[in-house]
């Protein structure tokens, strides 16, 4: 009878039993009489010890002939071993080789440049560092869905193929859609607004696309964004929700991903600090003054540049809301501030500390039909493309607010990485569409 298949992460519950591990060999050391096979199966890693005297001769020879990343079914007895990272070792009694490569694994021991590694992304994902990053991504997505589900939000997916774009005409991916033009969604927001009028509190979560020409450490051309939209929420309630959402995310990762943060050598103190008090709020006008004092030449009317966000967020130990940007720096749908005659809008970007910068863009939306149309005309937008969106202001319009949080920006910050490209399984950037 064959031994039961057990995932490596569960081996510790099977000490003394004979089990089968199915996976890949990521490393091997040998003496003349023993092979030490380093095995991984996606759930963890374990060392398999094969002693020449204890297995058939042809099996010992087969193990000797293995190349890195050979796929295997390894049967053995689980032994407790305090020195092993997984707490156990496998004494190998039987080895079945599913496929043995006939050439050297491209990602060996050597240090490789980032371009090479990105070319090998389909294989690079097998490394322990990438395993840790993808597990954290997986946990954050789970946490986000649960956060909104628990608060009574409906998941309402927005389309990816759209005829009306939400964030202006820059950075649009255009494609032929039969005899019309279509665009890949830059945002799901406009549809989330329609959904919020149907369900009250909703969110959409999916890939969004920006044909960003900029090659920066913060930009992907395809990234995932979660966008909540809430009827009857003002700007303040919107920010309170964002703070709860971001704190829940950090707390979840600290609670569930300690091992992964260790693999990444992430100092967790700055993350703990995020939970230690309320987020900061600064008015855009004050941010400009502060930035000028820090050496930036930003002036009223400009959006904060990446460098501005870096130097500003280095001043704080928790995330900062920058509020009330000038109207012309932001999208058409934002509600104008009655307090200054509409020179600014009721919006906030949430900037992550430690130099990371914007992870959320949010605002209260203009709910007044006439004001919205006037603004769209000012921007020379084609109203016919947005007739359905304008209907939301004709049939039971209500104050409403929402935001968009970038998944990859959030992971990059929480993991303390210098660049966004490693936190999505297959990154798309201006120079990269393969693999
Ligand atoms: O500030 P943005 O452009 O806002 C919107 O799209 C709104 N419609 C959201 C809303 O109110 N529903 O983008 C929101 C977030 C940014 O804060 C950032 O985290 C992320 O999306 N983001 C990107 N992430 C990676 N690469 C890019 N090129 C990104 N552009 C935006
Ligand atoms: Mg933004």
Is there a single domain that holds both residue 75 and residue 128?
no
Report residue 423's pLDDT band, with 50, 70 and 90 as the boundaries. Answer: very high
Categorize the per-residue pLDDT at 56 as very low, low, confident or very high, splitting at 50, 70 and 90. very high
Residues 139 and 59 occupy one common structural domain: no
Does ligand 1 have an atom closer than 6 angstroms to the CB of 227?
yes
The answer to whether residue 1 is domain-embedded is: no
Q: Are residues 135 and 261 in the same domain?
A: yes
- CA distances, 42 to each of 45, 132, 435 (Å): 8, 10, 20
pLDDT of 164 above 80: no
**Residue 162: inside a domain:** yes
Cβ(319) to ligand 1 under 6 A?
A: no
Domain check: are 145 and 54 in the same one?
no
pLDDT tens profile 78-110: 999 999 888 999 999 999 999 999 999 999 777
Is pLDDT at 387 greater than 90 in this prediction? yes
Contact indicator for 326, 336 with CB cutoff of 8 Å: no
Same domain, residue pair 354 and 215: yes
Q: Is 362 a pocket residue for ligand 1 (Cβ < 6 Å)?
A: yes
**3-state class (DSSP) for residue 110:** coil
Q: Give the residue-averaged pLDDT of 149-171.
A: 90
Atom of ligand 1 nearest to the CA of 359: 19
Question: Strand 201-209 vs strand 320-323: parallel, antiparallel, or unpaired?
Answer: unpaired
Number of domains present in the structure of the chain: 2
Q: Is 112 inside any structural domain?
A: no
Ligand 1 pocket test, candidate residues 167, 235, 404, 407, most atoms within 8 A of CB: 404
* Phi, psi dihedral angles at 20 (to 5 degrees): -115, 130
Residue 103 in 3-state DSSP?
coil
Which residues share a beta bridge with 30?
35
Give, for ligand 1, the residue of 409, 411, 422 to mutate: max count of ligand atoms closer than 8 Å to Cβ. 409
Q: Is the CB of 404 under 6 A from ligand 1?
A: yes
The two structure tokens encoding residue 12: 């510790």
What is the domain extent for residue 353?
121-423
Which residues on adjacent β-strands are paired with residue 223?
208
The mean per-residue pLDDT over the stretch 230-234 comes to 98
> For 334-376, how does the pLDDT look when each residue is reduced to its tens digit (9 = 90+)?
999 998 999 999 999 999 999 999 999 999 999 999 999 999 9
Write down the pTM of the prediction.
Answer: 0.97
């Amino acid at each position: 009878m064959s031994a039961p298949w057990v995932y490596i992460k569960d081996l510790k519950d099977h000490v003394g039993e004979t089990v089968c591990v199915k996976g890949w060999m990521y490393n091997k050391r040998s003496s003349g009489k023993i092979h030490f096979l380093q095995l991984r199966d996606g759930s963890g890693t374990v060392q398999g010890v094969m002693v020449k005297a204890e297995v058939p001769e042809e099996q010992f020879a087969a193990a000797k002939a293995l190349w890195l990343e050979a796929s295997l079914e390894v049967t053995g007895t689980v032994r407790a071993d305090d020195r092993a990272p997984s707490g156990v070792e496998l004494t190998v009694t039987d080895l079945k080789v599913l496929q043995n490569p006939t050439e050297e694994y491209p990602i060996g021991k050597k240090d490789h440049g980032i371009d090479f590694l990105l070319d090998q992304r389909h294989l690079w994902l097998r490394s322990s560092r990438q395993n840790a990053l993808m597990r954290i991504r997986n946990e954050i997505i789970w946490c986000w869905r649960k956060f909104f589900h628990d608060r009574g939000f409906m998941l309402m997916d927005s389309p990816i193929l759209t005829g009306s774009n939400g964030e202006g005409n820059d950075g649009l991916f255009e494609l032929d859609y039969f005899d019309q033009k279509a665009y890949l969604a830059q945002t799901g927001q406009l549809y989330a607004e329609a959904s919020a009028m149907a369900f009250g509190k909703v969110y959409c979560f999916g890939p969004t696309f920006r044909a960003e020409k900029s090659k920066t450490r913060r930009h992907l051309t395809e990234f995932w964004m979660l966008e909540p939209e809430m009827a009857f929420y003002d700007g303040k309630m919107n920010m309170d929700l964002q703070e709860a959402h971001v704190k829940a995310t950090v707390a979840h990762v600290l609670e569930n991903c300690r091992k992964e943060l260790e693999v990444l050598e992430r100092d967790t103190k700055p993350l703990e600090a995020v939970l230690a008090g309320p987020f900061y709020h600064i008015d855009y006008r004050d941010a400009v003054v502060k930035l000028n004092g820090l050496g930036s030449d930003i002036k009223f009317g400009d959006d904060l540049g990446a460098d501005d966000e870096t130097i500003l967020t280095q001043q704080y130990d928790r995330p900062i809301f920058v509020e009330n940007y000038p109207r012309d720096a932001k999208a058409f749908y934002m509600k104008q501030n009655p307090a200054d005659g509409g020179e600014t809008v009721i919006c906030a970007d949430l900037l992550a500390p430690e130099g990371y910068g914007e992870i959320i863009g949010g605002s209260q939306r203009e709910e007044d039909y006439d004001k919205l149309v006037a603004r769209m005309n000012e921007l020379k937008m084609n109203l016919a493309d947005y007739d359905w969106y304008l209907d939301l202001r004709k049939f039971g319009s209500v104050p409403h607010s929402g935001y968009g949080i970038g998944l990859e920006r959030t992971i990059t910050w929480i993991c303390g990485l210098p660049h966004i490209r490693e936190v999505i399984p297959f990154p798309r950037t201006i120079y990269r569409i393969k693999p």
